[in-house]
């Protein structure tokens, strides 16, 4: 098969997978509810009760990770084939992607409303690309759409995919668990495998704060005390979500700062070469997040993300202590935003690339070598395996390198990438130290991370 045919086939597979949620919806359990580093029987029963109490719960189940102690998963029910009602409502893409797996429609999520409806009508909800994502019962009249800025507009049912309505549960309110995708959870474990008591951690570009909370909980799990974390983001509004989670989860020793990374050292000169560990999850094109019903980015936007990520890397390196670790991670799939940034960090910033796989295999031996549990999902979902999330996720075949790593990330190899200099190179040996998550497996999203160390 020629390179072009192979690439087109791979892209088609990726786009098809992106349209569906992962088969396993990951939840992070608060270590306060673990006994002897395992889930207490009471918490286990409460989680089971949450699933069984969910509408359609007899088709939904919960499983616990065979090796990672603070993770459990809802098995996603679907795809279902909802009935089409006469009244249709078009909603924005982001709302549609959430509603597809069970969320309700909140204001102001409408885009187009060609039909009049009144409170109590049954309607069908569609994405802008006319994908039927759910049905619902309206909570307002159509003539009230422009009068309300927030609140529930449509209570959904017959969603294409279903998970328990965990956000309204007492378990969630009590801080027993949080929704958090598997891949960034593993990235947090990798960074925290290098944590020593007394180390100070920076979570950069942190909002809405899932990784800040995960780092804090892992530190508590390891040492029975919370590590010192500084969580920084430019969006005060999004940091409010973190502040609420810190209170809900009863976390401690976290300082939340509203600031751009480039201004942090000026506002806080004491932070120069101050941090032992840094988590850098910069803004990215988010091509690995699923379900994703549309892809709207242009080449210029991908390039702009790369330029932003490169600037953030340059700014943040001055905050890291000598011999300190930085975990670079994104929820996207592009070479430009992932391997190219790692290449830049090695060749231009002088960082050492450390094998993330060594950390994974040291803390979770054999977790990613052989499948531990077989899960048969509902409807037409394929069998999924624990242990297979990273299979082929790392660019490890010669065919892959022929296609995307032809010696270097340079202008003559990658036409139009004018920002990459001739000597930027991530060879096969170094690429295998990074981790890519296999989007073609049903139980993960697309993700990338690499562990680097300052000289």
Q: What is the DSSP string of 125-159?
A: EE-TT--EEEEEEESS-GGGGGG-SSSEEEEEES-
Burial string for 229-247 (b: 16+ CB within 10 Å, else e) reads bbbbbbeeeebeebeebbe
pLDDT value of position 389 = 56
Q: Indicate whether 237 and 350 sit together in one domain.
A: yes
Q: Indicate whether 184 and 232 sit together in one domain.
A: yes
Tokens for 2, please give them. Answer: 């020629």
Q: Indicate whether 294 and 421 sit together in one domain.
A: yes
26 is catalytic: no
pLDDT value of position 108 = 82
Rama region for 156: left / alpha / beta (φ>0; ψ in -120 to 50; rest): beta
Q: Are strands 228-233 and 38-39 parallel, antiparallel or unpaired?
A: unpaired
Give the count of domains, the chain. Answer: 2
Query: In which domain, by residue range, is 283 found?
Result: 178-453
pLDDT value of position 402 = 34
Whether 79 is covered by a domain: the verdict is no
Contact 343, 422 (CB under 8 A): no
If you search the block for the tokens 């029910």, which residue do you land on? Answer: 77
Q: Indicate whether 306 and 388 sit together in one domain.
A: yes
Whether 164 is covered by a domain: the verdict is no
Tokens for 404, please give them. Answer: 């995307």
**What's the CATH number where 193 sits?**
3.40.50.150
Which H helix or E strand runs over 187?
A: helix 182-192
Q: Indicate whether 343 and 275 sit together in one domain.
A: yes
Q: Indicate whether 296 and 211 sit together in one domain.
A: yes
Measured over the CA atoms of residue 237, residue 238, residue 239 and residue 245, the dihedral's sign is positive
Tokens for 308, please give them. Answer: 């932003």
Q: Indicate whether 186 and 316 sit together in one domain.
A: yes
Point out the catalytic residue in the list 26, 205, 213, 331: 331
Cis preceding linkage at 291, omega within 30: yes
Whether 315 is covered by a domain: the verdict is yes
pLDDT value of position 408 = 38
| Tens-binned pLDDT, residue by residue, of the chain (455 aa) | 455 676 667 777 788 888 889 888 999 999 998 876 677 777 777 777 776 665 444 444 788 888 898 998 888 888 999 999 999 999 999 999 999 998 899 888 887 666 688 999 999 999 998 999 999 999 988 887 777 778 888 999 999 998 888 888 889 999 999 999 999 999 999 999 999 999 999 999 999 999 999 999 999 999 999 999 999 999 999 999 999 999 999 999 999 999 999 999 899 999 999 999 999 999 999 999 999 988 877 778 888 898 899 999 999 999 999 999 999 999 998 888 888 889 889 988 999 999 998 999 899 987 876 444 444 333 444 334 455 555 333 333 333 333 333 333 333 344 444 444 444 557 777 888 888 887 766 567 889 999 999 99
Whether 312 is covered by a domain: the verdict is yes
Q: Indicate whether 262 and 309 sit together in one domain.
A: yes
Whether 112 is covered by a domain: the verdict is yes
Go through the chain and tell me how many residues it has: 455
Contact 7, 333 (CB under 8 A): no
Q: Indicate whether 433 and 294 sit together in one domain.
A: yes
Distance CA 26, CA 404 (A): 31
Distance CA 335, CA 301 (A): 14
Q: Indicate whether 125 and 201 sit together in one domain.
A: no
Last residue of a domain, which of 157, 189, 216? 157
**What's the CATH number where 138 sits?**
2.30.130.10
Backbone angles phi, psi at 284, to 5 degrees: -150, 180
Q: Indicate whether 253 and 188 sit together in one domain.
A: yes
Contact 123, 139 (CB under 8 A): no
Which H helix or E strand runs over 230?
A: strand 228-233
Q: Indicate whether 129 and 192 sit together in one domain.
A: no
Whether 13 is covered by a domain: the verdict is no
Contact 70, 38 (CB under 8 A): no
Whether 234 is covered by a domain: the verdict is yes
Whether 26 is covered by a domain: the verdict is no
Distance CA 446, CA 19 (A): 12
Neighbouring CB atoms inside 10 A of 272's CB total 14
0.85 exceeded by the pTM? yes
pLDDT value of position 412 = 37
């Amino acid at each position: 098969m020629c390179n072009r045919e192979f690439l087109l086939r791979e892209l088609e597979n990726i786009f098809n997978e992106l349209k569906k949620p992962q088969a396993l919806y990951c939840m992070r359990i608060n270590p306060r509810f673990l006994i002897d580093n395992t889930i207490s029987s009471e918490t286990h029963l409460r989680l089971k009760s949450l699933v069984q109490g969910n509408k359609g719960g007899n088709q939904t189940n919960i499983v616990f990770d065979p090796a990672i102690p603070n993770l459990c998963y809802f098995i996603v029910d679907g795809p279902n084939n909802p009935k089409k009602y006469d009244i249709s409502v078009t909603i924005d893409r982001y709302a549609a992607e959430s509603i597809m797996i069970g969320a309700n429609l909140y204001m102001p999520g409408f885009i187009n409303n060609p039909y009049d409806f009144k409170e109590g009508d049954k309607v069908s909800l569609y994405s802008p690309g006319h994908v039927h994502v759910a049905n619902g019962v309206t909570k307002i009249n159509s003539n009230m759409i422009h009068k309300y800025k927030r609140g529930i507009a449509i209570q959904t049912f017959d969603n294409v995919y279903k998970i328990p309505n965990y956000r309204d549960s007492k378990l969630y309110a009590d801080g027993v668990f949080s929704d958090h995708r598997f891949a960034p959870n593993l990235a947090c474990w990798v960074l925290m495998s290098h944590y020593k008591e007394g180390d100070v951690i920076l979570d950069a570009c942190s909002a809405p704060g899932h990784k800040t909370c995960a780092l804090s909980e892992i530190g508590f799990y390891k040492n029975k005390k919370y590590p010192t974390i500084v969580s920084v983001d430019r969006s005060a509004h999004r940091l409010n979500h973190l502040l609420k989670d810190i209170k809900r989860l009863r976390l401690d020793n976290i300082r939340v700062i509203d600031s751009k990374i480039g201004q942090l050292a000026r506002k806080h000169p004491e932070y120069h070469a101050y941090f032992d560990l840094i988590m850098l999850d910069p803004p990215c094109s988010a091509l690995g997040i699923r379900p994703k019903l549309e892809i709207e980015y242009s080449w210029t936007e991908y390039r702009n993300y790369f330029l932003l990520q490169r600037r953030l890397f340059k700014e943040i390196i001055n905050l890291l202590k000598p011999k300190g670790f930085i975990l670079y991670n994104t929820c996207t799939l592009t070479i430009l935003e992932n391997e190219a940034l790692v290449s830049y960090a090695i060749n231009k910033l002088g960082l050492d690339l450390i094998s993330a796989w060594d950390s994974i295999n040291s803390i979770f031996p054999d977790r990613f070598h052989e499948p531990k549990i077989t899960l048969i999902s509902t409807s037409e979902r394929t069998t999924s395996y624990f242990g297979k999330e990273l299979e082929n996720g790392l660019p490890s075949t010669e065919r892959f390198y022929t296609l995307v790593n032809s010696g270097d990330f340079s202008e003559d190899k990658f036409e139009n990438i004018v920002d990459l200099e001739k000597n930027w190179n991530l060879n096969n040996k170094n690429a295998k130290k990074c981790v890519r998550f296999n989007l073609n497996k049903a139980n993960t999203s697309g993700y990338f991370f690499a562990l680097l160390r300052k000289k």
